[in-house]
Structure formats: C-alpha cells, structure tokens
Structure 1
Amino acid sequence: MIQVDIGDLDRLTEASYRILRGEKPPLLELPPEYPDNEFRQFVEYFNRLIGEYTLFADFMYAMARGELDYEPPASKMRVVQSFKSLQANLRHLTWKTQQIAAGDLTQRVDFMGDFSAAFNEMTRQLEQAFADVSAEKERSDQLLLRVTDSIQYAQRIQSALLPADTAFGPAGVEGISLWLPRDIVGGDLFCVETCPAGVLVALLDCTGHGVPGALMSMLAVAGLRRLIQDEACHAPADLLHGMNDWVKTTLRQETDESPSDDGLDAAICLLRPDAGELIFAGAHLPLYRMHDGALEVIRGDRPSLGYKRSRSDVVFTSHSFPLDPGSVFYLCSDGLLDQPGGSRGLPLGRSGFRRMVEAIWDQPLATQRAHIEAAFLAHAGEYERRDDVTLLGWRALA
C-alpha cells in the first residue's frame, strides 16, 4: 500500500480549493528523492492540469476584456476547445458588425443559436429603417428642389424690380446700390422713381427675411408705387404716412381678427436737381450725409410703418439739404449695422460704418461700393448673416 504524507495531501486539497475559487495555484513540487510511484504520477498529472488551467484562465480573462485576438492555449480539453470556437465566432461576429457599420445591411449570422435570430432581426429592422429613411430623403430632396426652384424663380422676379444704377441719372446724380439678401430672396427692397417733382429714392426694410420678407417687400413696393403714380403723392413725409395706412389697411391690422403684426422701416428721399435740394423723411431709418470729410446722421422718426401697435395718425418729419457735388448721401438697412463679426462678435454699428465711409467717401462711388462690400464681408467673417443688407449712395454731378 502507498504511503502518502499528510502534508502532500493538504497541498493537493489547497490547490484544488484555489482552482474551484478561480485562483491560479502554483505547481506542486515533490522532493527529488520521492519514490517513483502512483502518487508521483498523480502529482505530475495534477501539475499538467494546473498548467493548462492557468493558460485557460488567462485566455478567458482576455476574452472577458474583449481581447478577441488573444492567442488561445494549445489544449485538448473540451472546455478549452468550446471557448476557442466561441472566440472564433465572436471574431467573425465582430467582422460582420464592422461590415454593417460600413453600410452592408445584408449581413446575417447563423452560428450562434438564439443570438443569431435576435441579431438577424435587428439587422433586418435596420435595413428596413435605412430603406425607409432613404425613401423619405428622396421625397424630401425632391420637395426641397421644387421649393428651391420656386424661390429662385421668385428671386429673379424680385431682382427685376430693383432699379439699375442708371436710374439715378434723371436726378443729376451718380448713384450706386448694394443688395445682399440673407437668403435667396429677402425683405429689403429699394426704388428709384421719376416723378414730376424730381426723383424719389426709397429704401424699404420689411419684417423678416427670406420668403416672408419678400412677400412683405412686394406689398410695400405696390403701396409705394400706388401712392406715387395713382395719387400723385411725392413728398417723402406724406409717402410714409400713406404707406403706413396702406400696410395697416391691406393687412387688416385695425381689426382684432387679423393675425398679422408685420410692417417695415423706410427711408425716402426726394431729389430735386433743378432746385439743388434733397428732402428726406424716415420711419426708423436714418439718412447719412458725408460732407467736408465728416459723417452726419439725420435720424428718421421713431415709428415704423404698419404693425398693430403703430398709430395711423403719425406725422413724419421732413428734412432738407443742399444737393451739391461736395456731399455724398447714403441709405442703408439695419442688416448692415447689426451684423456681428470681428474678433469679439460685436455688431458693425454706426461707428464701424462711419469708419468705412470716412476712409473712401471722396473716391468714385463704384469703388466705394466694392470697398464697403468687402469690408462688410471681412467684418462678418465666419459669423452667420443675421439679416438682409441694402445700401444706396449718391453724389450730385458737378
């Protein structure tokens, strides 16, 4: 009968216990003089078990951490072979997931039982969802194209309403215009109309921008031209008063039922070349006069035109100036002054506009327009355009 030392049995028991607890015990060592018997043979097999268990445990820990490229141990134990097969399946599943992430929604899994069914159903639903999104995007793109085509057509109509610089000619002045709508169409418009009293120059800055602003600008221009042509109204202050009535009446703003609370700011000048005179009236927009190297700001009246809160009986103030070659006059919408930009994102403001024109006011007007546009765009930089921008300028010919 084999005689086994009780201490050796205790070490076997402790190693088995540590394996059952998920620990990695050290190999058991017998002294060199230990007999070559069945117990030594058992210990050798037990040490092989510990070695393969240790390699298997490292392999399992690596898989638990998601290290699917970890080299599996060279073991013939069935449990190791099963996990090697699981590792191969997970690696293949990872590849299929990467293909799906790259857009190949036809990938399917057929080697992981119930998981395969759930995975394939998820992929099928993703494929259907992407197909639905793609179809909806196609419909949206077609709708956007039709809307954009319509707006671009409206832009051609709106642009056709803008007078050329040559329209200033009958007033005996050289004139320029700069029109930069924020969107394809905008709420800013300007008119240069010849009338028996001289030439009327009007800048209209309507509520909003884009399509709503463009609709308001059409309404405002229609009202202005009706007053000039049908009612022979030529005085700037009277035109502002008449346009205020026109907007409030047309949009039914005197009634509680009207949903509209829209309007516009406007500046109108009557140029009388025979008298050498300019008459200005403004509704919340000023006139700028550059004379003797200094910029003078002639403020318009505070009320705007239209809007439910505005009064129908407001009286606008007229201002008169000599129309002489030594002066340059400017009108601009608030989109020019309110545009944020620069290093601190601050509005250009009147001080910025003043610096623009005082630097180039004595140069040809075409040069001034190019300079002002470039300076405005440089100020705006990467900041989003806030509003439509319009600038008019003129100088009496010598």
Structure 2
Amino acid sequence: MYLGVCDSTGHGIPGAFMSLLNVSFLNEALMNEKIEQPGDILEKVRSLLKSVFQQERQDGMDGILIRYNPKTSMLSYAAANNAPILIRDGSYRIFEYDKIPVGHSSKTERFKTYALEIQPGDMLYLITDGFPDQFGGSLNKKYKYRPFYEFLLSISHLPTEEQKELVKSEFLTWQNGNEQVDDVMVLGIRF
C-alpha cells in the first residue's frame, strides 16, 4: 500500500496545475514505471518535473510518500522537506527526512528511502506545513512545529474521528479570525 501527503508549490490556478502534474507523475512512476521504493519514486517525479520546467523554476512539491506492508509490519518512506511523526508509548518521534524539494533545487542529493517497523497501537501522522505556519493566537504568531507535535501527542490516544474534530477546532481557535495562509493537511493513521 502506498500513501502520499504532498504540498505542491503555487496557489490558485498555478497551484492546481502543479498538483495535477505531481499526481500524474506519481502515478506514472508507480503504475507505468513500476518503481517500488519511495525514494526512487520521488527521484522519478523530480526528473519528470525538471523535463517539463527546463528553466530553474522552483516548482514542485514537498511531501512524504509511504509504502506499508501489513504482512511484515514494515513501513518504508521518502520525505521531501516534511517529516513523519510517530507516537508510540506516550512519546513522539520525528523521523529523518531529506531537506530538498521534489523539483529543481541547488541540492543534488538523491532521495533516500527510510524504513521503520510499525507496532500495534502506533499512531503515524503525515502533515504539510500549513498548520504549523498558520498565524494566530493572542500574539498573532505562527503556531510552529514543536507545539503542534505536543498537541498531536496530547490527542493521540483518542479515536481518530475525535482527533479529526480536535485538530479542526485547534486550528480555528488558533487562527483567531486571521486569513488562512496555506493549505492544511494532517493525516493520522492508527496501526
């Protein structure tokens, strides 16, 4: 099973166009090219994006692509500027990620495929930067990552439907009437 949480560059029509390209290229790598490793899939998408945008435009995406095998409980993933968060036994762990986007970049390293063993009861979160980067609160500042991880930890023991409602409520409370600055994606998976 493959699952991706991605954040394409751009807003409005250009952002929608980038999203369509990115989804199409992910499908190309998975379905037509039959590439299996998440890091190799992101490499293929990067290559396809570079061929479409031959100038050094900063178009592409950040994201996490996971591959999960329920028979072995092994999860492999590739992460571009985003890190998976795993909550196990009352603490959270931020996993490794590559500090490069999928698309043109001055960095030339290849995307790595990381692996971890999943245990029953684990809660895995895949997020984009939309929630941590939202301005709000009493001081009208960004929410930031560490407080967001702590918030996820505080609700991780609850049923996922309840978590969904609490994430929405926390976002709206923090936003405090400010304009939403970016798309927000928070995906939680209980194993």
Aligning the two structures, in what range does the TM-score lie when normalised by the shorter sequence? over 0.9
**Are 1:372 and 2:167 counterparts?**
yes
2:2 to 194, 200, 203: 200
Q: Distance in 1 between matches of 2:144 and 2:122?
A: 22
Residue of structure 2 in register with 1:293 after alignment: 90
Residue of structure 2 in register with 1:303 after alignment: 100
Residue of structure 2 in register with 1:283 after alignment: 80
Q: Please list, as runs of the form range in 1=range in 2, the aligned pairs for 1:63-212 lying within 5 A after superposition.
A: 199-212=1-14
Give per-residue Cα distances to partners, 1:44-73, cap 9 Å, x unaligned.
xxxxxxxxxxxxxxxxxxxxxxxxxxxxxx
Residue of structure 1 in register with 2:55 after alignment: 253
Gaps of at least 5 residues in structure 2 are none
2:185 to 365, 370, 390: 390
Residue of structure 2 in register with 1:269 after alignment: 66
Instruction: Determine helix, strand or coil for the equivalent of 2:62.
Output: strand
Does the 8 A contact of 1:200 with 1:234 survive in 2?
Answer: no
Instruction: Report the AA paired with residue 203 of structure 1.
Output: V
**Are 1:335 and 2:130 counterparts?**
yes
RMSD: 1.4
State the Cα distance separating 1:354 from its structure 2 match.
1.7
| Matched positions, count | 191
Deviating 4+ runs (over 2 angstroms):
307-311
State the Cα distance separating 1:209 from its structure 2 match.
2.0
Larger helix proportion, structure 1 or 2?
1
**Are 1:218 and 2:20 counterparts?**
yes
State the Cα distance separating 1:252 from its structure 2 match.
2.0
Gaps of at least 5 residues in structure 1 are 1-198, 255-259
State the Cα distance separating 1:308 from its structure 2 match.
5.4
Instruction: Determine helix, strand or coil for the equivalent of 1:316.
Output: coil
Higher relative contact order (CA 8 A, sep 6+): 2
Give per-residue Cα distances to partners, 1:12-44, cap 9 Å, x unaligned.
xxxxxxxxxxxxxxxxxxxxxxxxxxxxxxxxx
Normalised by the length of structure 1, the TM-score is 0.46
Normalised by the length of structure 2, the TM-score is 0.94
Does the 8 A contact of 1:253 with 1:261 survive in 2?
Answer: no
Residue of structure 2 in register with 1:145 after alignment: none
Residue of structure 2 in register with 1:239 after alignment: 41
Instruction: Report the AA paired with residue 316 of structure 1.
Output: F
Does the 8 A contact of 1:304 with 1:310 survive in 2?
Answer: no
Q: Name the % identity.
A: 29
Q: Distance in 1 between matches of 2:144 and 2:83?
A: 13
Q: Distance in 2 between matches of 1:332 and 1:269?
A: 13
**Are 1:316 and 2:111 counterparts?**
yes
State the Cα distance separating 1:210 from its structure 2 match.
2.0
Give per-residue Cα distances to partners, 1:247-286, cap 9 Å, x unaligned.
11122236xxxxx431211211111101111112101111
Q: Distance in 2 between matches of 1:366 and 1:324?
A: 21
Instruction: Determine helix, strand or coil for the equivalent of 2:5.
Output: strand
**Are 1:326 and 2:121 counterparts?**
yes
Give per-residue Cα distances to partners, 1:116-164, cap 9 Å, x unaligned.
xxxxxxxxxxxxxxxxxxxxxxxxxxxxxxxxxxxxxxxxxxxxxxxxx
Q: Distance in 2 between matches of 1:253 and 1:222?
A: 20
**Are 1:360 and 2:145 counterparts?**
no
Q: Distance in 1 between matches of 2:87 and 2:94?
A: 9
Q: Distance in 2 between matches of 1:303 and 1:226?
A: 21
Residue of structure 2 in register with 1:228 after alignment: 30
State the Cα distance separating 1:310 from its structure 2 match.
4.7
Give per-residue Cα distances to partners, 1:336-367, cap 9 Å, x unaligned.
11001101111111122122211110111111
Residue of structure 1 in register with 2:145 after alignment: 350
Q: Distance in 1 between matches of 2:105 and 2:155?
A: 41
State the Cα distance separating 1:320 from its structure 2 match.
1.5
